Amino acid sequence: MSNKIGNAAAAILVGAAIGAAIGVLFAPDKGSNTRKKIKDGVDKSSEDIKQSLSEFTDRLKSKANRTKADLETVFNEMLADVEDKKEDVIATLEKKLTELKKNMPAK
């Protein structure tokens, strides 16, 4: 997923550079105005990339939090199952002990 964002960021930067170069070559405006336009375009591209990375980070954090909550739920369910099983094992052992005591020869 991060590779896709990296590729998108690289594509945006390459596109901005190509656009800037073409803009300089075919600019009907003064050089200072053209440079300002290029700078503004690069700034906008940079902001777009920052925004995309921020959104990606937020989505990743959200997914991590959901995964953590899911793991905690599963862990708590497993603990409840173990508690139930423990009671079953104790009851079975007590039953077997009682049976053994009944079947033991008297001294």
Q: List pLDDT tens digits, range 73-85.
A: 888 888 888 887 8
Long-range contacts of 15-19 (CB under 8 A, 24+ apart): 15/45, 16/41, 16/42, 16/45
Q: How far apart are CA 87 and CA 95, in angstroms?
A: 12
Counting the structural domains of the chain, the total is 1
Q: How far apart are CA 41 and CA 26, in angstroms?
A: 16
Query: Which residues form the domain of 11?
Result: 2-103
Q: What's the predicted TM-score (pTM) here? A: 0.43
Structure confidence by residue, pLDDT tens digits, 27-74: 666 777 767 777 787 788 788 888 888 888 888 888 888 888 888 888
